[in-house]
Amino acid sequence: MGEALGDILGLAAGVAVSPLPIVAIILLLATPQGRLNGPLFTLGWVVGLSALGGVMLAIGGAGGSSAHHQPATWVGVLKLVLGVLLVLFGLRQWRHRPTGASQAELPKWMAAIDRFSPVKVVGLGLALSAANLKNAPLTLAAAASISSSGLATGQQIVSLGVFVIIGSLGILAPLAVFLFLGDRAKSVLGGWKDWAAQHNVAVMAVLFFVLGLKLLGDGIGILIS
């Protein structure tokens, strides 16, 4: 189990560093319903990661992802494909990164985030975790690694839980600041939001590229072993 956790920690950290979702939860916390919206968004985020990872564990179990205590060939192919996609996304992000503060623009839907209903807030958390171009491939790759590790079902579930917790730290940190820092929270979260918004594209490009190369290496290692 320790080997499986070591294999997914980097992927979980990559999920945790998600500038756009961090900006989203900070904006939600700043709404009049911040004490409700923040936990609801976090709930959606956790459910999204858990559900996507759980589906991959089920597929891996049914598809024989582990053979003689070694990852099956299709796991290597999956990681190779996900790695290629992430590298390509990273190159595309880097080419389109903003070169000045005036070019750092947030998605238009964020302007209406203070009018989101509780259902939309949960849905936003789900979308930014399970349907995110970075987080979805990393979650699938992590769950595939867990599934192919040969662990018992209970240990696989615990490993996925660890992945979800670590992958949620970037969302939990603003929520904790909001709940426990009182009057200081506004200035702290404002600084985080400005930094994340300005550097979102560059950070994502680097993460796409580095983690994509990791998955490429993992996939090639499985295929030639």
Sign of CA dihedral 25, 27, 28, 33: positive
Give the residue among 215, 217, 216, 41 at the shortest CA–CA distance from 143: 215
Helix (H, G, I), strand (E, B) or coil at 105: coil
Cα 141 vs. chain centroid, distance in angstroms?
Answer: 11
Position 194 pLDDT exceeds 90? no
Long-range contacts of residues 173-182, Cβ cutoff 8 Å, at least 24 apart:
174/22, 174/25, 174/26, 174/29, 174/38, 175/25, 175/29, 175/38, 175/39, 175/42, 178/29, 178/34, 178/38, 179/35, 179/38
- pLDDT at position 198, please? 76
- pLDDT at position 109, please? 83
DSSP E strand boundaries for the chain = 66-67, 70-71
For residues 165 and 54, what is the distance between their CA atoms, to the nearest angstrom?
Answer: 14
- pLDDT at position 186, please? 84
- pLDDT at position 149, please? 80
How many CB atoms neighbour CB 157 within 10 A? 16
Give the residue among 32, 14, 18, 22 at the shortest CA–CA distance from 163: 14
- pLDDT at position 126, please? 95
What pLDDT digit, counting tens, does each position of 142-182 carry?
999 898 887 888 899 999 999 999 999 999 999 999 988 87
- pLDDT at position 69, please? 65
- pLDDT at position 32, please? 86
Beta-bridged to residue 70, according to DSSP, are 67
- pLDDT at position 26, please? 92
As given in the structure block, the two tokens for residue 48 are: 């999204």
- pLDDT at position 46, please? 97
| % of the chain beyond a pLDDT of 70 | 91
- pLDDT at position 102, please? 47
What pLDDT digit, counting tens, does each position of 113-123 carry?
988 999 999 99
What pLDDT digit, counting tens, does each position of 34-93 carry?
899 999 999 999 999 999 999 999 988 776 666 666 787 888 889 899 999 999 988 888
pTM of the complete model:
0.87
